[in-house]
Amino acid sequence: MIRLFTAIAVPPEIGQGLLSRQHGIEGARWRPLEAFHITLRFIGDVQEPVAAELDEALAEIDTPAFDLELTGAGVFGEGVDIHAVWAGVGDSAPLRHLQKANERAARAVELKPEGRLYTPHVTLAYLKRPAVPEVGAWVQANNLLHSPSFRVDRFGLYSSWRTHEGSAYRLEREYPLRR
């Protein structure tokens, strides 16, 4: 079994701006620069043959490259159940198109449909029973986040595994977008 997801890597120059925002929440497990990504489709645990079929389906995606910006900040969860803080992604029809193409590729290899509403974001920290006022202050301090525009000319298939420091990721395959 291999745990997979598809994502767009955040360029290091954009990620540097996110690193400077990683403070102010006690106990937060801040993510390192190399972990910053925008998930397109969480796949989960699959057998190697399914992963190979998915790779073939993803390689068939034919969409043009596009530009993105990070905007705003938010959380997943409510109250003491808040479990992550994130940087948002500006509204983008090409991003939605690419995400839907990834969803179609997953369904083509008979993976279950994603049941959650797609909320493009970059996870900055995972939280466990945080102080709600600290999280609220962090969101308020970062809600005007706005990165420079960056070019998305590829996406990747990543494997994931858990470590003592949190999840670690490895790029398994990249898929170029049409220029």
How many angstroms separate the CA atoms of 82 and 75, rounded?
Answer: 7
How many angstroms separate the CA atoms of 89 and 68, rounded?
Answer: 7
37 included as an active-site residue = yes
How many angstroms separate the CA atoms of 150 and 11, rounded?
Answer: 8
**How far, CA to CA in Å, does 129 sit from each of 74, 113, 125, 138, 168?**
16, 30, 13, 15, 22
- Rg of the chain over all Cα atoms, to the nearest angstrom: 16
Catalytic residue, from 23, 83, 97, 121: name it.
Answer: 121
Catalytic residue, from 37, 97, 146, 164: name it.
Answer: 37
Residues identified as active-site: 37, 121
